[in-house]
């Protein structure tokens, strides 16, 4: 009883905390500025259930405005939309608890679900008088499908075959990919699925087969088929969804979607004879421009939380419009002030807003450095950069895109590291998170450096590879240290993953960071050398330079291990001398082992001398004495700076002990 009382007190405290939080948030909520699908239906129903079942009530500033929206929406919903045919109401059946007879809905199921919505299907199961095995099996399929994602959540809708396929293919083909270089079998399957769905539903589709059609998915599907060489008719899209000033996404929607209208515009502009649909094109372009002109902040859309999603679609649609118009395609009723004034102004202002909203620190977009929002911004800027009237700020656009791409690349590498870090069970969750955060800061600091983002593409790519190897080598060294620590003796490493030769050429030098530092230096040098050209000009020179850096890196690691042998034994850090290759003769002193390590260093010095001589010979032969000597001197300078540290290590271990 005592345990139960404590648990009950804890629950009451949590409820009180939740109520206080909701009161605080609701008092700041501006209902009339909210753009979220069906919020005016769902939230009032939740309030009603809390009041009826638990006596919890909420009063807040915009409560009357919310109830007015709810009343307006409910007045639009007829019984036939609930009980006779599929409608957008079936997306959110949880909003109708206590208001409808759920037993009358059974014939509107599609493959066990209501509009492929787990929430709606669950609401039906909880409120129907007879348990529905088919609906239960649908929910089991959803949860089983989502188990692999590990967060025990379910999506808003599932499955979304048409939505997922059409959006992905459009994004690929609109941003540099070519259909003939993608998997033909997969493209043919997607093409057949879209054609079949359009045929079955008379030229319009929803986000999955046999579900309620909408303008958004229909427009995207038509665009994909045009990309893949088909010529589907856009007339059903126009007939069903066109209204006086715009296109509706769903027939019963309360307010229009700018993203859906952008997708409609793009679809209309992809037909072979867009002049047939001039009236519709003018209507949609006017709607988009008016939305922009009358918006007092960033664009909002009910289908997406980020303003950058509709911004990306506006940039794609209006840029395509200008190009189709300039291609001498007759669009006679396009008003001059629309095509010559309003559209360019909208696009130019869009560029400015996107540039101004980029993070100065990381190069990302979005409040939390979202990769998705950063991708939207990059795609938008890439479209806008092709326009002739942005020439005066093209350099700023190029730098912004480069910094955004660098951020995406850095977070991609960090994510692969994060996966590995989750497998290192010896790190506590809090420590692991702190390590990952520091890695993100470190990678972003390098990749957004002004001199790095303007280096040649090859030199930037090499830096990315070396940076990834450097980070992963830290984890590999930690794992090796753990295995070493588990041993009863520190004389020899009993479980090496490779030979000493392979280790010293890979993990050892990557962990030490010498190749990564040189890749960073190369990017800095490429800024001072023939614009954005690679600093080392040919594949042969690149190869010899890489060989030189490999020898320099090995020598640096050898001297590090030479100087830190005693510390490494005490702290159980993997050292060259711990490898089985050094066991050979038993019972040798550390002095003898270190002397043997120096013999390997002497060999590396001879190899380095040969490589350096060959670099100088080939570089001067191909590029002349001045250029050849310059390339040679860069490597020589890097070697000399490393030699200073090597000599210091030989005298004294300079690394702080842990």
DSSP code for 28:
T
Sign of the Cα pseudo-torsion (121, 126, 127, 129, in order): positive
| Burial letters 192-211, b for 16+ CB under 10 A, else e | ebbeebbeebebbbbbbbeb
DSSP state of 494: S
Rounded CA-CA distance 544/270 in Å is 51
Q: Helices 63-76 and 39-54, interaxial angle, to 10°?
A: 110
Angle at 126 between CA 123 and CA 131, to 5 degrees: 120
Regions of the chain where pLDDT drops below 50: 1-4, 415-433, 654, 656-658
CA 204 to chain centre: 31
Do the Cβ atoms of 439 and 413 come closer than 8 Å? Answer: no
- Phi first, then psi, for residue 623 (nearest 5°) are -125, 5
Would you say how long the chain is, in residues? 658
Residue from 404, 606, 574, 376 nearest 493 by CA: 574
Query: Is the backbone peptide bond immediately before 226 cis, with ω within 30 degrees of 0?
Result: no
> Which residues, at least 6 apart from 345, have a Cβ–Cβ distance to it below 8 Å?
none
Rounded distance, CA 108 to CA 102, Å?
11
Give the pLDDT of residue 158: 87
- Residue 194 gets the label, from left (phi > 0), alpha (psi -120 to 50) or beta, of alpha
Tell me the pLDDT tens digit for each residue of 399-423: 999 999 988 888 765 544 433 332 2
Distance CA(182)–CA(546), nearest Å, equals 34
Q: What pLDDT score does 653 carry?
A: 52
pLDDT of residue 428: 30
Q: What pLDDT does 420 receive? A: 36
Number of Cβ within 10 Å of residue 403's Cβ equals 25
DSSP-derived secondary structure for 505-557: HTHHHHHHTHHHHHHHHHHHHHTTSTTTS-SS-SHHHHHHHHHHHHHHHHHHH
pLDDT at 568: 87
- Tell me: the pLDDT tens digits for 330-386? 666 666 678 888 899 999 999 999 999 999 989 999 878 888 899 999 999 999 998
> Helices (H) and strands (E) in the chain — how many of each?
26, 0
Rounded distance between C-alpha atoms, residue 380 and residue 31, angstroms: 29
Instruction: Name every residue whose Cβ is closer than 8 Å to that of residue 319 and which is 6 or more positions away in sequence.
Output: 347, 383, 384, 386, 387
Residue position matching structure tokens 């034994």: 569
- Write down the residue that tokens 């043997």 correspond to: 596
Q: With H, G, I as helix, E, B as strand and everything else as coil, classify residue 282.
A: helix
Element (H, E) at 331: none
pLDDT for the residue 33:
81
User: Using one digit for the tens of pLDDT, what is the confidence trace for 604-645?
Assistant: 999 999 999 999 999 999 999 999 999 999 999 999 988 887
Residue with tokens 């009451």: 12
Copy the structure tokens of residue 179. 């259909």
Predicted confidence at residue 193, as pLDDT, reads 93
91 contact partners, CB below 8 Å, separation of at least 6: 37, 38, 115, 117, 120, 157
- HSE, side-chain direction, 13 A CA sphere, residue 564: 20
Other CB atoms within 10 A of residue 130 CB? 8
Of the candidates 573, 611, 616, 576, the one whose C-alpha atom is nearest the C-alpha of residue 595 is: 576
Give the C-alpha separation, 262 to 18, whole Å. 39
Please, are residues 304 and 259 in contact by the beta-carbon 8 Å criterion?
yes
Angstrom distance (rounded) from CA 177 to CA 171 = 9
Quote the CA–CA distance of 403 and 409 in Å, as a whole number: 10
Nearest to 521 by CA among 473, 609, 455, 470: 455
Contacts of 502 (CB under 8 A, 6+ apart): none
Query: Residue 185's pLDDT is what?
Result: 82
Beta bridge partner(s), residue 242: 247
Residue 204: both structure tokens together: 């319009």
Task: Centre a 10 Å sphere on the Cβ of residue 465 and count the other Cβ atoms it contains.
Answer: 13
CA–CA distance, 581 with 126 (Å, rounded to integer): 69
């Amino acid at each position: 009883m005592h345990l139960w009382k404590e648990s009950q007190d804890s629950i009451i405290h949590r409820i009180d905390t939740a109520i206080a939080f909701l009161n605080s948030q609701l008092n700041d909520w501006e209902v009339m500025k909210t753009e979220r699908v069906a919020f005016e239906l769902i939230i009032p129903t939740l309030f009603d259930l809390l009041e009826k079942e638990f006596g919890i009530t909420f009063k807040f500033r915009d409560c009357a405005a919310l109830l007015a929206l709810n009343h307006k929406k409910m007045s639009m919903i007829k019984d036939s939309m609930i009980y006779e045919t599929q409608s957008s109401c079936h997306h959110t059946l949880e909003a109708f608890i206590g208001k409808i007879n759920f037993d009358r809905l059974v014939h509107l199921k599609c493959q066990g679900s209501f509009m492929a919505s787990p929430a709606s299907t669950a609401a039906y199961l909880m409120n129907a008088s007879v348990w529905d095995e088919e609906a239960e099996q649908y929910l089991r399929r959803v949860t089983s499908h989502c188990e692999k994602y590990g967060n025990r959540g379910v999506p808003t809708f599932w499955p979304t075959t048409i939505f997922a396929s059409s959006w992905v293919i459009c994004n690929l083909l609109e941003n540099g990919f070519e259909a003939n270089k993608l998997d033909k079998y997969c493209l043919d399957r997607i093409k057949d699925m879209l054609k079949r769905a359009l045929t079955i539903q008379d030229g319009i589709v929803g986000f999955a087969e046999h579900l309620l059609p909408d303008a958004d998915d229909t427009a995207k599907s038509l665009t994909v088929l045009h990309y893949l060489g088909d010529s589907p008719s856009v007339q059903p899209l126009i007939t069903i969804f066109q209204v006086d000033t715009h296109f509706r996404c769903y027939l019963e929607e309360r307010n229009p979607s700018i993203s859906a209208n952008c997708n409609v515009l793009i679809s209309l502009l992809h037909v072979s004879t867009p002049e047939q649909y001039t009236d519709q094109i003018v209507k949609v372009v006017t709607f988009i421009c008016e939305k922009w002109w009358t918006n007092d902040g960033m664009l909002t859309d009910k289908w997406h939380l980020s303003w950058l999603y509709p911004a990306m679609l506006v940039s794609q649609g209006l840029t395509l419009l200008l190009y189709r118009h300039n291609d001498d395609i007759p669009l006679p009723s396009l008003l001059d002030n629309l095509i010559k004034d309003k559209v360019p102004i909208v696009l130019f202002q869009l560029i400015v807003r996107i540039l101004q909203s980029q993070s100065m620190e990381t190069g990302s977009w979005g409040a939390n450095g979202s990769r998705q929002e950063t991708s939207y911004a990059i795609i938008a800027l890439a479209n806008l950069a092709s326009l002739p009237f942005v020439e005066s700020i093209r350099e700023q656009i190029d730098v912004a895109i480069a910094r955004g791409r660098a951020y995406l690349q850095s977070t991609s590498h960090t994510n692969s590291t994060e996966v590995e870090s989750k497998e290192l069970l010896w790190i506590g969750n809090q420590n692991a998170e702190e390590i990952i955060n520091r890695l993100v800061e470190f990678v972003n600091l390098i990749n957004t450096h002004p001199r790095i983002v303007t280096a040649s593409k090859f030199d930037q790519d090499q830096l990315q590879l070396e940076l990834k190897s450097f980070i992963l080598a830290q984890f590999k060294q930690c794992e090796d240290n753990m295995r070493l620590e588990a041993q009863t003796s520190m004389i020899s490493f009993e479980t090496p993953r490779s030979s000493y030769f392979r280790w010293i050429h890979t993990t050892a030098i990557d962990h030490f960071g010498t190749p990564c530092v040189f890749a960073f230096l190369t990017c800095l040098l490429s800024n001072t050398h023939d614009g954005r050209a690679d600093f080392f000009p040919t594949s042969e020179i690149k190869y010899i330079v890489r060989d030189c850096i490999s020898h320099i890196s090995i020598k640096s690691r050898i001297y590090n291990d030479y100087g830190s042998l005693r510390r490494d034994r005490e702290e159980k850090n993997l050292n060259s001398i711990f490898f089985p290759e050094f066991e050979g003769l038993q019972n040798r002193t550390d002095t003898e082992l270190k002397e043997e390590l120096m013999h390997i260093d002497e060999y590396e010095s001879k190899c380095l001398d040969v490589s350096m001589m060959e670099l100088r010979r080939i570089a001067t032969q191909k590029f002349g004495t001045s250029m050849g000597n310059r390339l040679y001197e860069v490597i020589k300078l890097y070697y000399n700076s490393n030699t200073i540290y090597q000599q210091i290590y030989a005298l004294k271990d300079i690394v702080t002990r842990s």
